[in-house]
Structure 1
């Protein structure tokens, strides 16, 4: 298909990016008809652009025919997230924490799909992990997911929690919290302690403790989760490693908030 040139740009590229934007904005996989209606375009035209996006791995077609974001789209988003000023500014404190507690550290950011792991720092002692950079963490049985669920707005997290509960029900798998009432009870404990925890939920014998870092608006900027063997990282607020994790989160919140305040005042 010949390129449709406009002044200072290429129209066909702009249309293709609009298709990609629609997939990003919607947040969940879409049927071709739904995508065409969203874009107010003929399905045949949308299909041509989707085929190109799939070919370049910015989109993918699922077995049920719906279209979703492809791996290249996720890599692009992840690359942008990794370069955000707040995470870059946090690196010295994050690495100092890693040296102090000698546990694996997962740094995550919130996305419409859930918590996204953007950085993983290995401990000196081997700890097997089933997640990697680019992974979306479960909301219910990961420390990272529970931290976001507790400290973000219920409007943002409830749809993802409901989705996971339905998946567990379909798979006949038990999970805690098992419903909204149990979640609210767990949430109060997380808010009071300032951290979310799991013990062997995703990895037998491995504890995870996650703490949030806030921005100037008291919103979660990102989260840090420490992972270690039960003997290495006990879930105990009086443990020195847990205290160091929470102290780092507090220091990062103050550092980021101060920086954002200075930018606002200038």
Structure 2
């Protein structure tokens, strides 16, 4: 056999996974030289493993030559997230909320690339939603993104937000908040309300309200966003559906922190 064997394992597989680990740990795509330096390996050797990772869709090469995680890596990560104990344990309460408010529900977890949608529960009413399971949500103009941005550490979210602002500027697209100072004002409002909202920002006529669920360390464990038409789900914190959403978030936080 061509693989170099170690006791109870295959060394070449372990090296390949080490290369994959380096791509996972780095928040942005990497050039081959940068990846090799990170691993303290010869570029030619790293290239052989990267070619195999690309062939199996665990990595991909971008147009500028840099390497990034591929679709199979994202599927693996998503599969792991969907099986986390907290989200699995929360399913009865999540589906009970769905029955109460009859809105689309998006469950998300934080990743190094931003909020990742890991579950989508369809409403009985028709709502056109283009962000499905596996989508990374923008921090600036999605309710989910704004919730994470408001309740997470600024040194984690700000670099991603700055990148979004640069992308919007390059495309000559308007977005709110337009800069860090505007976001800080919005952040105080979100923290005060305990939820982030958008109205028609991503889809005309569709409102979204996102609430965070916290763990025992006071960090976001996951978020739940409700989506529906502006008539069915008004941006009104006295509305019964909105109150049910916030109550469920509070109940889930208590369940996770005390359970």
Same fold (TM over 0.5): yes
What residue number does 1:93 align with? 93
Q: Does the residue aligned with 1:247 lie in a helix, a strand or coil? A: helix
What residue number does 2:102 align with? 102
What residue number does 1:184 align with? 184
Q: Which runs of 5+ in 2 are unaligned?
A: none
Q: Deviations over 1:21-70 (max 9, x none)?
A: 00000121000000000000011100000000000000000111100000
> Within 5 A, what are the aligned runs for 1:162-173?
162-173=162-173
What residue number does 2:154 align with? 154
What residue number does 2:44 align with? 44
> Within 5 A, what are the aligned runs for 1:243-254?
243-254=243-254
Could you tell me the TM-score, scaled by structure 1's length?
Answer: 0.97
Q: Deviations over 1:150-185 (max 9, x none)?
A: 000101100100000010111111110000000000
Q: CA deviation at 1:2?
A: 1.7
> Within 5 A, what are the aligned runs for 1:1-266?
2-259=2-259
What residue number does 1:263 align with? none
RMSD: 0.7
Q: CA deviation at 1:206?
A: 0.2
Which whole-Å CA distance do the structure 1 matches of 2:231 and 2:132 have between them? Answer: 23
Q: CA deviation at 1:236?
A: 0.2
Q: Does the residue aligned with 2:203 lie in a helix, a strand or coil? A: coil
Aligned length: 259
Which whole-Å CA distance do the structure 2 matches of 1:2 and 1:33 have between them? Answer: 26
Ranges of 4+ aligned residues in structure 1 off by more than 2 Å: none
Which whole-Å CA distance do the structure 1 matches of 2:79 and 2:200 have between them? Answer: 30
Q: CA deviation at 1:7?
A: 1.2
Q: CA deviation at 1:8?
A: 1.3
Q: Does the residue aligned with 2:247 lie in a helix, a strand or coil? A: helix
Which whole-Å CA distance do the structure 2 matches of 1:173 and 1:78 have between them? Answer: 30
Could you tell me the TM-score, scaled by structure 2's length?
Answer: 0.99
Q: Does the residue aligned with 1:127 lie in a helix, a strand or coil? A: coil
Which whole-Å CA distance do the structure 2 matches of 1:83 and 1:194 have between them? Answer: 27
